[in-house]
Homo-oligomer: A and B are copies of this chain.
Amino acid sequence: MKLDAIDKQILELLQENSKRTNKELSYKLNLSVTAVFERIKRLEKEGVLSKYVALVNKEKVNRSFVVFCHIKLLQHSKSFLTRFEAEVLKLDEVLECYHVSGDYDYILKIFVSDMNAYREFMVTKLTTLQHIGSTQSTFMIGEVKNSTAISLS
């Protein structure tokens, strides 16, 4: 699908704040409300706009302790990977999990309340997963940037 300059502007604006109304967008883009409406519907239908979500402040819900955990598996056959991935999906504390190249196999991003909670998570959940070889935890000290908006320029 082709995205013109107006589509890109709409995407940038909605990535920043999805509560903007079509009227507000129509002002900014010098278009009619209908034109904006139709473009957004098209972007949704094509799957360019995949989801609308509310973001919650992790400090306010007691999940400020963020950990990046690098994981090595014992073996790398497809069935091992698949099984591990299915189990990770079930863990609420894990918001992100990526299969990666390099020294280890997976990067997990984990949100918990504090170090004690993380210890509990490791002992009762993470290290009980099948096929895990090793884990290495890196703790977030500060958040410099955390955006969900892909730049389209």
Q: CB distance A144 to B89 under 8 Å?
A: yes
Number of copies: 2
Which residues of chain A in 81-107 are interfacial with respect to chain B, using CB atoms and an 8 Å cutoff? 85, 88-89, 92-102, 106-107
* Contact of A37 with B by CB under 8 A: no
| Cross-chain contact A100 with B14 (CB below 8 angstroms) | no
Verify B53–A95 contact, CB threshold 8 A.
Answer: no
**Could you tell me the distance between the alpha carbons of A137 and B8 in the complex, rounded to whole angstroms?**
29
- The CA of A138 and the CA of B94, in the complex, are separated in Å by 19
Q: Which of A27-48 contact B (CB under 8 A)?
A: 46-48
Q: Give A11 Cβ to nearest chain B Cβ, in Å.
A: 6
Residue of B nearest to A99 (CB): B142
Q: Which of A60, A61, A101, A144 has the most CB of B within 10 A?
A: A144
Say if the beta carbon of A129 comes within 8 Å of chain B.
no
What residues make up the interface of A, taking CB atoms closer than 8 Å to B?
A: 1, 3, 11, 14-19, 46-58, 60-61, 63, 66, 68, 85, 88-89, 92-102, 106-107, 111, 138-153
